[in-house]
Amino acid sequence: MALHLEIVTPEKKIFSDTVGNVYLPGADGELGILDGHAALVTALKPGELRYEKNGQTVLMAIGTGFAEVTEHRVNVLTDLAAEAEQIDESKVEEAMQRAEQQLAGMSHDHDAEEVAHLQAVIAKSMAQLHLKRRHRN
């Protein structure tokens, strides 16, 4: 058998094909998935998703979400999935700076949901910038 990877965002299906392996940024650390893996569901944190296809390693920045793993399948549901060439570094840097400034200017009585949103924007921006800069070097 082969491992089937599917990556879906709220906007569209990003990827759906057979791969050799998958590495995910799980909430408790990186997970390596091979064909025949035990079934599990895990939360994802912003970071780097890697998979191997035809001897090539493909890297993507992903946001928060969930991954469902079955014996021969990995389903990734995430709010962000982008390869390095899709990332506009200056726009991501600007979004991250705005979020950092808003977060720094907040008083202690601000809504926890708003704080969590800004922290998520910063984490997703950092994941994208890390991938873009790593790809460039």
Q: Which DSSP symbol is given to 109? A: T
Q: Are residues 75 and 19 part of one domain?
A: yes
The predicted structure's pLDDT at residue 120:
87
Residues 52 and 101 in one domain: no
Q: DSSP secondary structure string, 26-95?
A: ETTEEEEEETTPPPEEEEE-SEEEEEEETTEEEEEEE-SEEEEEETTEEEEEES-EE-GGG--HHHHHHH
- Domain range enclosing 96: 87-136
CATH number, residue 39: 2.60.15.10
Averaged pLDDT, groups of 10, the chain, 137 residues long: 92 96 94 95 95 93 96 96 88 90 78 84 86 75
Q: Are residues 41 and 92 in the same domain?
A: no
What letter would DSSP give residue 17? E
The predicted pLDDT at position 51 comes to 96
Chain length of the chain: 137
Do 99 and 73 belong together in one domain?
no
Count up the domains in the chain and report the number.
Answer: 2
pLDDT of residue 48: 94
Kindly calculate the radius of gyration of the chain based on its CA atoms and give it in whole angstroms.
Answer: 16
Question: CA-CA distance, 34 to 20, in Å (whole number)?
Answer: 7
Residue 1 pLDDT: 66
pLDDT value, residue 137: 62
pLDDT of residue 112: 82
